[in-house]
Structure 1
């Protein structure tokens, strides 16, 4: 029983003497991750406890042996983290945006497609080029062979018709668009 208390005393002395320097060394190896550095420090001290022959080493101090063990443990821990997928914490999951219901998105997509089909071929062609293919007004005008002003007016009236056709749009949006058109016609005359 005296060897167990001697081992505990030696380990406590080892931690007092080399713990702060070893922790600082491990903090650098873990890029400032205090928790990981503390875990590695504890693991290094456990290794020292498991290998009592290290206490009898010819070194003046245990420090070189401890630093070598700590460095190897840090390397092994890093390799094992890289070999497995990244852990996702609860904080990351809580901050992630909630995904919309895919069924609702599919229904909405079908509604939009059906509403676009009700448009005239000219209006539909403009919307397809601008909103589905991502072309600018000028590019759409070149592709369709019409003036840019015609592209703008067709897209305006097509969107206005869609806002009336699609569910979830209020009549307020159509009144505000007609009010803005009335304002534009009075300023142009």
Structure 2
């Protein structure tokens, strides 16, 4: 029981005496990544605990031994990260377009272009200003010289007509209100 207490006390003294310097050293090896440096520090101290013979070495300080172990752990961790492929999160995969998206968006752009052509010039003008040029309702009203309420009602009815004229794209009519690229490219040409 006393050896465990002595080991714990020796390890606590080791961490107190050399921990800050070792952490600073490991922080440099990890290019400022605090989390990795903390992990390496803990792993180095675990190695010291696993090798009590290091405490009885012929040297005056444990610091060189700790720095050597920490450096080797940092090198091993870096090699390990470089050896395996980079991890890709779900968010990256969801935002990465697949090859089919290009053809699908081209077809959608043609469909939207045709549907926008069926709108009256007044409705089309409101949609162009709001959704394709990114103007607010107030700015659209100023550009077109009509009241803001008229801009709102025309955009509402224009989107409703588009959702009717785009069978199979009813879910896309809501994306029109967010300025989808298919709709933008449809009126741009």
Smaller-chain TM-score range? Answer: 0.5 to 0.7
Query: Partner residue of 1:22?
Result: 22
Distance 2:51 2:104 in 1: 66
Pairs within 5 Å for 1:148-159: none
> Is the counterpart of residue 167 in structure 1 residue 75 in structure 2?
no
Distance 2:73 2:87 in 1: 20
Q: Counterpart of 1:59 in 2: which secondary structure?
A: coil
Q: Which runs of 5+ in 2 are unaligned?
A: 125-189
Instruction: Please give the per-residue CA displacement for 1:90-141, whole angstroms capped at 9, x wherever unaligned.
Output: 6x538x6363793x754565x59xxxxxxxxxxxxxxxxxxxxxxxxxxxxx
Using the TM superposition, give the Cα deviation of residue 171 of structure 1 relative to its aligned residue in structure 2, in angstroms. Answer: 1.7
TM-score, structure 2 normalization: 0.55
Assess, with a 3 A threshold, how the Cα gap between structure 1 residues 107 and 59 changes in structure 2: closer, same or farther. closer
Assess, with a 3 A threshold, how the Cα gap between structure 1 residues 47 and 172 changes in structure 2: closer, same or farther. same
Instruction: Please give the per-residue CA displacement for 1:23-44, whole angstroms capped at 9, x wherever unaligned.
Output: 0000000000000000000000
Pairs within 5 Å for 1:27-106: 27-89=27-89, 93=92, 97=95, 99=97, 102=100, 106=103
Distance 1:89 1:13 in 2: 41
Distance 2:33 2:81 in 1: 14
Q: Counterpart of 2:87 in 1: which secondary structure?
A: coil
Assess, with a 3 A threshold, how the Cα gap between structure 1 residues 21 and 108 changes in structure 2: closer, same or farther. closer
| RMSD of Structure 2 on Structure 1 (CA) | 3.1
TM-score, structure 1 normalization: 0.55
Assess, with a 3 A threshold, how the Cα gap between structure 1 residues 5 and 108 changes in structure 2: closer, same or farther. closer
Equivalent residue pairs, number: 121
Assess, with a 3 A threshold, how the Cα gap between structure 1 residues 100 and 57 changes in structure 2: closer, same or farther. closer
Assess, with a 3 A threshold, how the Cα gap between structure 1 residues 80 and 51 changes in structure 2: closer, same or farther. same
Using the TM superposition, give the Cα deviation of residue 14 of structure 1 relative to its aligned residue in structure 2, in angstroms. Answer: 0.2
Bigger relative contact order, structure 1 or 2, given CA contacts below 8 A and separation 6+? 2
Moved over 6 A (4+): 172-176
Distance 1:20 1:108 in 2: 56
